[in-house]
Amino acid sequence: MAEPIIRFEGVSKSYGGQPALKNFSLDVLPGELLTIIGRSGCGKTTALKLVNSLITPDAGRVLVQGEDVAKTDPVALRRRIGYAIQSVGLFPHMTVEKNIAYVPAISHLEGWKGPARRERVSALLRQVGLDPALADRYPRALSGGQRQRVGIARALAAGPEILLMDEPFGAVDEITRGQLQEEILRIHRESGITILFVTHDIAEALKLGTHTLVIDKGTVQQCAQPEEILRHPATDFVRELVEPQRRRDSILQRRRLPL
Ligand SMILES: Nc1ncnc2c1ncn2[C@@H]1O[C@H](COP(=O)(O)OP(=O)(O)OP(=O)(O)O)[C@@H](O)[C@H]1O
């Protein structure tokens, strides 16, 4: 079996004495698209931020490609890990091109100077379903969905092996959300990148994930393939979470039956 690309080993994290994650253990294998779901405040964002060392565990270890992140230079670590969040966080005074090229530029990556930069940015814009002509625009001149896509292009720019996505489609309409979901599935399929994707939408979690992790109150409830979660929920919490989805699926299935 492949070595995990990310491993949580008995990780606990509290804020001001309030536990956010409790004795949390998890292996993520290379190429997985792990969707992470649970109620607001259950510890999803905390789990993501432990991976790129934006926060550090109180107990236990987080390993990325076998290295303890607590012992890894955080800047070098974050270069290997793309991070896309709901609020996107594009620099407003920089064009789309400069925003996307920002991490490669500060990391002095090869092949990001002059016309080569333009080429790379165009390729990334195409990869996320945008017209390369948008490269010269400023973020304020983009729609919300376009900004989300630019945020994803920026997270992919340095060629990371891991992409962390924290409710990246939370602020867009349903149609754009559906399109962005398809883009992510395509990027995952074509690049083989490992993705951790936080969502509060069970339908999205089960649609996108090769695996889905359900968290409640800082503890792992179940981590399995979506079909397994739907068919065999491991706890009452997971059963309650997937029940509406199961009902919707069975109605859809009945509707598809010939009359
Ligand atoms: N910097 C902080 N200081 C204090 N408490 C925090 C901090 N960050 C998170 N928490 C608390 O830790 C718990 C877990 O937070 P976290 O952001 O990981 O949850 P989440 O599952 O991502 O929530 P949401 O779905 O609402 O984004 C919550 O109770 C939250 O209030």
- State residue 252's pLDDT score: 65
Half-sphere exposure of 193 (CA within 13 A, CB side): 26
Q: For 181-186, what is the mean pLDDT?
A: 91
* pLDDT (tens digit per residue) in 48-76: 999 999 999 999 999 999 999 999 998 88
Identity of the residue numbered 89: G
Q: Give the C-alpha separation, 192 to 217, whole Å.
A: 31
Question: pLDDT tier at 256 (50, 70, 90 boundaries)?
Answer: low
Please say if the pLDDT value at position 259 is more than 70.
no
Give the domains, in start order, of the chain with CATH numbers: 1-80+163-235 (3.40.50.300), 92-159 (no CATH)
- State residue 208's pLDDT score: 95
- State residue 169's pLDDT score: 80
Q: Which atom of ligand 1 is the closest one to the Cα of 218? A: 14
Residue with the larger pLDDT of the pair 258 and 62: 62
Pocket test for ligand 1, best of 42, 51, 52 (most atoms within 8 A of CB): 42
Least confident range from 44-48, 55-59, 207-211, 242-246: namely 242-246
**53 CA to middle of ligand 1, Å?**
16
* pLDDT (tens digit per residue) in 86-97: 766 889 999 999
Q: Which atom of ligand 1 is the closest one to the Cα of 49? A: 18
Which residue puts its alpha carbon closest to atom 23 of ligand 1? 41
State the CB neighbour count (10 A cutoff) for residue 162: 21
Q: What is the mean pLDDT of the chain?
A: 90
Q: Give the C-alpha separation, 17 to 14, whole Å.
A: 6
**168 CA to middle of ligand 1, Å?**
17
Pocket test for ligand 1, best of 11, 35, 40, 45 (most atoms within 8 A of CB): 45
- pLDDT exceeding 70 applies to what percent of the chain? 95
Question: pLDDT tier at 232 (50, 70, 90 boundaries)?
Answer: very high
**200 CA to middle of ligand 1, Å?**
14
**173 CA to middle of ligand 1, Å?**
25
Least confident range from 1-10, 169-178, 214-223: namely 169-178
Please say if the pLDDT value at position 220 is more than 90.
yes
Torsions phi, psi for 43 (to 5 deg) = 115, 10
Which residue puts its alpha carbon closest to atom 25 of ligand 1? 40
Q: Which two tokens stand for residue 3?
A: 């070595």
Q: For 27-35, what is the mean pLDDT?
A: 97
Least confident range from 51-55, 78-82, 138-142: namely 78-82
Which residue puts its alpha carbon closest to atom 16 of ligand 1? 43
**Ligand 1 pocket: which residues have CB below 6 Å?**
15-16, 20, 38, 40-46, 200
